[in-house]
Chains A and B, each alone.
Chain A
Amino acid sequence: MSDAAYPAAAGARSRSAAPRGRLLDGPAGLAPTRRLSGKRIMIYGGLLIFSAYYLLPLWVMVMTSLKGMPEIRMGNIFAPPVEITFEPWVKAWSEACTGLNCDGLSRGFWNSVAIVIPATILSIAVAAVNGYALVNWRFKGSEVFFTILIFGAFIPYQVMIYPIVIILREIGLMGSVWGLVLVHVVFGMPIITLLFRNYFSSLPPELFKAARVDGAGFWGIFLRVLVPMSLPIFTVAVILQVTGIWNDFLFGVIYTRPESYPMTVQLNNIVNSVQGVREYNVNMAATLLTGLVPLTIYFLSGKLFVRGIAAGAVKG
């Protein structure tokens, strides 16, 4: 009875209940995917070869650092140690000689920490405020100011080395850790400012306007609205600065004295010390110890780093 009263509904029902025998010959449904095509073998094979190429030196270093000197002299640099020893690591950290003193890398490590922490914090703090002001508080000549700042990133270091020596000497910071901190803050400024400027200009300008209507001032908007939403770019800046300053050798060797040498300079002095036998295992351990800090940072924050780089790079 209802079928007669609602012919349309009846038609719909009979269509959906029709037997599923309407397929003709030929492809139907989901297209098949081939697991191992020649193209894929090429791609994965290539990736494997390149990874091995890049990982091999690391492998050699780790293996050598775990061997004793007699075993190293036998050759076979790729072979794993027959007898594992951590003595080279201990020696590299606390006993290796750098010519004048014999307290290993530990002194350089703590010097580097004392340089990296204030230099990172200071340079990021200044550059973040720079970027914020350049985007949201345009002043007369702000574009010129920014151009000059960016231009600074392209001046070769060699040109500035000696003038900076004079400046540091005049202000009494030559040879101290703080002088090196100042140099790193100045040299980090252009690129980190650019990073923050690009990130802040990618945020909706209405957010800034709304905060102004809400009565927040220069610092209120920066600290309470913008900084809390800028974690990715702060992460990028921290990684760039920590690794950059940690890996720096040139400024370290020029602007500090032996007792305040950063870890990289200390490492060089250990590896290149001329007296006695070359202790390859200690050298390898020392190099690995020095590289451990940037390596750890990349591993811990890789994901955030990629996200932040993408966020900061989109808008110019």
Chain B
Amino acid sequence: MAQALRAETRSELDGISVSIRDLSLSYGAVEVLGDLNLDVNDGEFLVLLGASGCGKSTLLNCIAGLQPATEGQIFISGKNVTWAEPSERGIGMVFQSYALYPQMTVEGNLSFGLKNAQVPKGEIARRIARAASTLQLEPLLKRKPAALSGGQRQRVAIGRALVRDVDVFLFDEPLSNLDAKLRAELRVELKRLHQSLGNTMIYVTHDQIEAMTLADRIAIMRGGKIQQLATPDDIYRRPANLYVAGFIGSPPMNLLPGRLDGSTFRGPLVADVTGYDFTTRPRGGDIVLGIRPEHVRTGEAAAALPIQAQALVEVVEPMGADTLVWTRLGDTPFRVRLDGEDRVRAGQMLSIGFDPASLSLFDAATETRI
């Protein structure tokens, strides 16, 4: 009977590296994670994205076994690890603050976990050599963490996860303590590492650029719940609700409140939304129309598009490659992103236009995509 049960769970977990089932966590009356379900595929790079306090790091700590869950189950590589110790779960973890052992050399840091697991000496040396060559740590092996730069420290921390030879890597905002340039470099290095190793990686961040560039799928979290779990492209183009629409994109999506009559939107502008890909059968009523600043066309290109309007330019922010223009549609602020070559002056009228296919429409009451 137990045999049969195990066979059944195994088939259900085929191809799934980490499976989180009905997971809840509360401190007394405060619910941090609520009824969370998430399946991470083998070899997938999943990013947990959200503002601070959304529960993303807590979820990662639950997966790592550093934070016991109140309810629910966690499976890693087909094994139920809900009650297992962190070291028994087959995970490696990288922390924002590096968390290197300050009194040990780089080599000591890398070998600490293996010594605890009583791995034979030859095997330890072999794994350290491999990790060191992957991460270019060879010249640093005899140094103490204090003698390393931030980027080197984080590479050692990644190496510490690497030598454990595990199926799943957990990253808790690993790049947030680095300066912008180093962050971009290490981001590419991480992506390369994932491509060459093919391990499952779960990565917590509040940085949407990191999420968009690294992830196979992104889970956007808010208040301990997953708002949307989809590919970066889907999240960008088809945000599931108003929160996701406002969170992803910089500058954020323009959100215009109004009413939908048949297929006509009446708000700060009047627009025929025929051509929009409705997810549900449209009902009339209060809705919010969302359009990304970079999907707005101007001038001649706007004239050819189905939805058109005139906007008053208030502020122009040139940023080199592109220019952000703050305009006003009636009383509503409206952002437009132009090519850096376009010349716009404050005070002029700008003819703008956009395609219904690039819109996102949300029900004003439920805040979900329609």
Please report A residues at the B interface, Cβ cutoff 8 Å. Answer: 204, 206-207, 209-216, 220, 224-225, 228-229
Selected contact of A212 from candidates B86, B157, B164, CB within 8 Å: B86
Please report B residues at the A interface, Cβ cutoff 8 Å. Answer: 61, 64-66, 85-87, 91-93, 95-103, 112-113, 116-117, 157, 160, 164, 172
- What is the minimal beta-carbon distance from A24 to any residue of chain B, in angstroms? 38
Cβ-defined contact, A213 with B97, below 8 A:
no
- What is the minimal beta-carbon distance from A301 to any residue of chain B, in angstroms? 20
Cβ-defined contact, B64 with A213, below 8 A:
yes
With both beta carbons as reference points, the residue of chain B lying nearest to A210 in the complex is identified as B99
Can you spell out 14 A-B residue pairs with CB atoms less than 8 angstroms apart?
A206-B96, A206-B97, A207-B99, A209-B99, A212-B66, A213-B92, A213-B113, A214-B87, A214-B112, A214-B160, A214-B164, A215-B113, A215-B116, A216-B112
A206 proximity list for chain B (CB < 8 A): 95-99, 172
CA distance A220 to B112 in the complex (A): 10
B64 proximity list for chain A (CB < 8 A): 209, 213
Residue of A204, A207, A215, A225 ringed by the most chain B CB atoms within 10 A: A215
Selected contact of B87 from candidates A207, A213, A225, A229, CB within 8 Å: A213
With both beta carbons as reference points, the residue of chain A lying nearest to B91 in the complex is identified as A213
A210 proximity list for chain B (CB < 8 A): 93, 95, 99-101, 157, 160
CA distance A229 to B99 in the complex (A): 13
Cβ-defined contact, B93 with A215, below 8 A:
no
Cβ-defined contact, A204 with B97, below 8 A:
yes
Q: Interface SS of chain A: helix, strand, loop or mixed?
A: helix
Given A216-B112, A229-B102, 8 other A-B residues pairs in contact with their CB atoms under 8 A: A206-B97, A209-B66, A213-B86, A213-B92, A214-B160, A215-B85, A225-B101, A225-B103
With both beta carbons as reference points, the residue of chain B lying nearest to A207 in the complex is identified as B99
Cβ-defined contact, A204 with B103, below 8 A:
no
CA distance A214 to B103 in the complex (A): 16
CA distance A225 to B109 in the complex (A): 10
B172 proximity list for chain A (CB < 8 A): 206
- What is the minimal beta-carbon distance from A139 to any residue of chain B, in angstroms? 13
- What is the minimal beta-carbon distance from A142 to any residue of chain B, in angstroms? 15
3 closest A-B pairs (Cβ-Cβ)? Answer: A215-B87, A214-B113, A206-B99
B112 proximity list for chain A (CB < 8 A): 211, 214, 216, 224
Cβ-defined contact, B113 with A229, below 8 A:
no
Cβ-defined contact, A211 with B101, below 8 A:
yes
- What is the minimal beta-carbon distance from A259 to any residue of chain B, in angstroms? 45
Cβ-defined contact, A204 with B116, below 8 A:
no
A214 proximity list for chain B (CB < 8 A): 87, 112-113, 116, 160, 164
B116 proximity list for chain A (CB < 8 A): 214-216, 220
A204 proximity list for chain B (CB < 8 A): 97, 99
Selected contact of A213 from candidates B93, B100, B102, B103, CB within 8 Å: B93
- What is the minimal beta-carbon distance from A226 to any residue of chain B, in angstroms? 10
With both beta carbons as reference points, the residue of chain A lying nearest to B89 in the complex is identified as A213
Cβ-defined contact, B96 with A215, below 8 A:
no
CA distance A229 to B108 in the complex (A): 15
CA distance A207 to B99 in the complex (A): 5
CA distance A213 to B94 in the complex (A): 10
B101 proximity list for chain A (CB < 8 A): 207, 210-211, 225, 229
A215 proximity list for chain B (CB < 8 A): 85-87, 113, 116-117
A220 proximity list for chain B (CB < 8 A): 116
B61 proximity list for chain A (CB < 8 A): 209
CA distance A181 to B74 in the complex (A): 50
CA distance A211 to B87 in the complex (A): 9
- What is the minimal beta-carbon distance from B339 to any residue of chain A, in angstroms? 27
Cβ-defined contact, A228 with B103, below 8 A:
yes
CA distance A210 to B156 in the complex (A): 13
A214-B87, A214-B113 are known contacts. Are A229 and B103 too (CB-CB below 8 A)? yes
With both beta carbons as reference points, the residue of chain B lying nearest to A228 in the complex is identified as B103
B98 proximity list for chain A (CB < 8 A): 206
